Chain A
């Protein structure tokens, strides 16, 4: 697990901002943000975000860790890359949001942990790590039932027609999940990756 980010305790506390600059992907360029608003103005779903990227970045600088990590802004990003292409300071906005999302999930902020994105990512990772492949039925089922039994049923029924169509078009198979060759090797690789990540997190 990553080290927990520091929580500012006093006024003008830069500890969280500095931690973000160092530990978040693209954070080094975040320091160059000049608050022009191009990112928020370019964002197709900015209206659904608690805070647009520009404001979120200013809040990071202001040490508002709780408000930043408990916002829905990171999970709401649809990765359209308009902000990345247009940013006059070449701040990789989308990557920063993505990385902050990971931080929020690891630190247990419900808005991110319970988001659709995080649920789907967990289902996807479970399948990829277990079989070396993604199995459409199992990933979908895990994703749907992560919302609870009755919600899972409802979601499954609502998408039954699509599933049937996919089976008919041979885009979804019936039977045992596909697996990759040498699953043992894959597990070794993943174990090594986890070890490296743990080392970097300290």
Chain B
């Protein structure tokens, strides 16, 4: 507790994923003004890219819908998309934050009719689908975008195509002169909900993700299984579009590895079991092998694991595969030692999914939050408040709990209870 009274009662939330959204609505509904800063053109973050949640296999769109409603009905939330924090000055109670906004080239009166996309030709890699498909240079970030507004790619702005896109908009919402902006905001507390990014699978050279088409990552699997994904929700081999009959799910691809991520990413075990459920649901004859070091299905999640273990077509193999080799017909061959039987195996599969871990995704110079742990996650202490996966690997429900706690800490700061 400090004698100094906070100069600003506004709370800034950096990041618009499930943790950022939660922290923002919790603080706003408690009666505090909130400024949200999101790097991408839309809220939703990684959660919007998921097909379903474990363990209940419900759809993330449902929770997002409810939270979007809470944001819409709140008068206290101010949202800046395509924006990042460039600098933080001052201290708890009186921060001056420099926010930098990239141009969207589409004004708020956009009705998301899609006329602009009809005339756009340039194809750009779709970040929402991890580059598994392309989008046209004027596109809606995803079907659950918030705000529901198109984006025009900077690549086409000073081209005839850009002019055609502008002309196609009947209500004149395309603004090719958008320069973006840089401005300062006075806030009393900052909640860092900057989230995570998948560990780059190309770094796992022995697993040859970059070379073998039928070796994919867990986040790519989520997109494959999603109805709004590149295949319309059908799980198929990227090489030939065939339905996979033999699928390997490899745990700890990067996590718990001092050469990559020195920590357990916590969610991958259940995420992979969820992927086993996706495959079994879609392909009746499919056989799934889960390669693991240890299975970390804590408390309520254990029942999900039991359900899968009861399935004779899902096999759990205690082994961290040593390498993946190229086999016939683009079949990746998983090689390693089964540590329970001591058998050395070389097993061909139609599709291999690497459970790559979570890495902190920080903005700017990466040190703006002030306090970080050894792995680059935001460490909540003193003035620094982390929420969700920005503070360490968490699943969605734990992220929401963490964000609610972060909102509470931020409220304590701006109301002078905690400094």
Contacts and interface: CB of A to CB of B under 8 A. Distances in A.
Interface in B314-344: 318-323, 335-339, 342, 344
Nearest to B294: A34
A175 B260 CA distance: 55
B185 interface: no
Contacts of A40: 322, 337, 339, 342, 344
A52 interface: yes
B323 A36 contact: no
Interface stretch (B27-35, B250-258, B302-310, B403-411): B250-258
Give the interface size bracket for B toward A.
Answer: 20 to 34
A82 to B, nearest CB: 7
Contacts of A36: 252, 293, 319-320, 339
Given A36-B339, A55-B342, A41 B319 contact: yes
Interface in B100-151: none
B2 interface: no
Interface in A29-70: 34-42, 46-47, 52, 54-55
B337 A37 contact: yes
Contacts, number: 65
Nearest to B204: A86
Given A41-B322, A54-B337, A82-B322, A34 B256 contact: yes
A41 B342 contact: no
A86 B260 CA distance: 10
Contact of B336 (A37, A47, A88): A37
A46 B323 CA distance: 15
Nearest to B293: A36
B344 A46 contact: yes
Contacts of B417: none
B73 interface: no
A37 B339 contact: yes
Contacts of A86: 206, 259, 322-323
A35 B339 contact: yes
Contact of A41 (B258, B259, B335): B335
Given A46-B344, A55-B342, A86-B206, A38 B336 contact: yes
A41 B257 contact: no
A77 to B, nearest CB: 16
Interface residues of A, number: 19
A23 B344 CA distance: 30
Contact of B259 (A37, A39, A88): A88
Given A54-B339, A55-B342, A86-B206, A37 B320 contact: yes
A54 B143 CA distance: 49
Interface in B237-264: 252, 256-260
B319 A37 contact: yes
Contacts of B206: 42, 86
Nearest to A47: B344
A164 interface: no
B259 A46 contact: no
Interface string B192-211: 00000000000000100000
B258 A88 contact: yes
Central interface residue in B252, B256, B319, by most chain A CB within 10 Å:
B319
A88 B252 contact: yes
Contacts of A34: 256, 293-294
A89 interface: yes
A47 to B, nearest CB: 7
A86 B253 CA distance: 12
B320 A90 contact: no
B160 to A, nearest CB: 52
Contacts of A38: 320-322, 336
A41 B293 contact: no
7 contacts: A34-B256, A35-B339, A36-B252, A40-B339, A40-B342, A52-B337, A86-B259
Interface of A: 34-42, 46-47, 52, 54-55, 82, 86, 88-90
Interface of B: 206, 252, 256-260, 293-294, 318-323, 335-339, 342, 344
Given A40-B322, A40-B339, 13 more contacts: A34-B256, A36-B293, A36-B319, A36-B320, A36-B339, A37-B320, A37-B338, A38-B320, A42-B322, A82-B322, A86-B322, A88-B252, A88-B257
